[in-house]
Amino acid sequence: MSMTVLLEMTLRPDATEAQSIISETLAQTRAYSGNEGIEVLVDDDDSAKLVVVETWESTAHHAAYAEWRTTPEGQNRLGEIVAAPPVKRIFSETLDI
């Protein structure tokens, strides 16, 4: 079953390399096994606030990706551009309404 991850982040005002760092990070994420897609949403009222929407083939695929991000090979530079730690929300069920 597919699952969705929302990653909410606020960029630092002095984050001049934000676009290149985000692009590099998303390219790595898109290439990871089980990733079905990513999009980045920008807040209409504050362009420093972003929501990254990731869709994964399964919870296991996302868990493997999250574990990889804790390794030296999986490290990224997001910490250089965010004002605070990102907030991650994971959704894996759909209501049948």
Query: Domain span at residue 26?
Result: 3-91
- Residue 51 within any structural domain of the chain: yes
Residues facing residue 54 across a β-bridge: 5, 38
Residue 96 lies in a domain: no
Residue 97 lies in a domain: no
Q: Is this structure's pTM higher than 0.75?
A: yes
In this structure, what CATH number is given to the domain that contains residue 47?
3.30.70.100
Domain count, the chain: 1
Per-residue pLDDT tens over the stretch 33-74 = 999 999 999 999 999 999 999 999 999 999 999 999 999 999
**Distance between CA 26 and CA 54 in Å, rounded?**
10
Taking only the tens place, the pLDDT of each residue in 82-91 is 999 999 999 9
Would you say residue 78 lies in a domain? yes
